[in-house]
Amino acid sequence: MAQTLLKVSGLKVAYGGIQAVKGVDFEVREGELVSLIGSNGAGKTTTMKAITGTLPINSGDIEYMGRSIKGRGPWDLVKEGLAMVPEGRGVFTRMSITENLMMGAYIRNDKAVIAEDIEKIFTIFPRLRERKDQLAGTMSGGEQQMLAMGRALMSRPKLLLLDEPSMGLSPIMVDKVFEVVRDVYAQGVTILLVEQNASRALALADRGYVMESGLINMSGAGRDLLSDPKVRAAYLGE
C-alpha cells in the first residue's frame, strides 16, 4: 500500500465564531485522487484552509509526509510540495498571465526548466498562450480557473489541493477543468479535490469522503459512494 501523504486527525476549526469543522479524520495516500464532497456550508473549504495554513485550527493535527504541519504558513508548505488552487481562483488581477505563472514558480530558481514548464502549461491550456500578455483581471472566470491551476502546477507539487474548481463555470469549461484534473492525476500528482459536483468528483476519485455539518459521515471507494443510494439522494438529486 502507498504511504500516507496527508493525514488529518481530530481536526476542529472555528470560522467566524462558528465551529465549522467539528472533529474530522481522513487521509490521502501517495498517488491517489481523493474527493471530499458535501453540501454548501459542510466545512469543506474550511478544512482545506486549515490544511494549507490559511486558517488556524482549534484542535487536532495535520500531518504531511509524516510530520505535523500545524501552524505553518502556506508559503512554507509550497516549498515542501503542497499547493492549493483556492475557491474563487485568487489570481493576481493586475499581472499578466505569464507573470501569474512565474509567481507560481517563485520558490524555484531553475530558469530554463521554469520556461519549459510554462510551455507545458500553455500546451495544456492553449487559451492561456493566446492571451499570455493579457492582464489576468480581464479574463473570464473559466480562463482564470485555468490560470489558477496552471500557477499551482508551476510549483511542481507533490500534493495538489483543488477547492471547488468547477464553481460558476459553463458546462464546456467544467468539462475542460475535469479533463485537466484527470490528466494531472495521470502524471502522478496526488490530488485532494473538494467539489460540489459530486457525480464528477466521485467518478474521478480513488476514494471519497462525504462531509456534512462539519463532520465526515461516509467514506469509501469513489465508485461505491457514487452508487450509494444515500449519496445519490442527497447529492445527485435522485
Q: Where are the beta strands (DSSP E) in the chain?
A: 4-15, 18-29, 33-37, 59-64, 67-68, 82-85, 159-163, 190-194, 207-212, 215-221
Give the C-alpha separation, 141 to 184, whole Å.
21
What is the pTM (predicted TM-score) of this model?
Answer: 0.93
| 97-152: pLDDT as tens digits | 999 999 999 888 898 999 999 999 999 999 999 999 999 999 998 899 999 999 99
pLDDT bin (cut points 50, 70, 90) of residue 238 is low
**pLDDT at residue 118 in the model:** 96
Instruction: Give me the pLDDT at residue 109, please.
Output: 86
pLDDT for res 90:
82
Tell me the CATH number of domain 4-90+157-235, given options 2.30.29.30, 3.30.1310.10, 3.40.50.300, 3.40.50.720. 3.40.50.300
- Say yes or no to pLDDT of 196 above 90: no
pLDDT at 48 over 60: yes
Contacts (Cβ under 8 Å, ≥6 apart) of 64: 5, 6, 77, 80, 82, 159
Domain locations in the chain as residue ranges: 4-90+157-235
pLDDT score for 71: 87
Dist CA 44 CA 87 (whole Å): 11
The pLDDT of residue 75 is above 90: no
> d(Cα 64, Cα 70) in Å, to the nearest integer?
10
Question: Residue 1 pLDDT > 80, yes or no?
Answer: no
Return the C-alpha cell found at 160.
495538489
Neighbouring CB atoms inside 10 A of 11's CB total: 25
Cα 233 from chain centroid? Answer: 25
The distance from CA 186 to its chain's CA centroid, rounded to whole angstroms, is 16
Residue % of the chain over a pLDDT of 70: 99
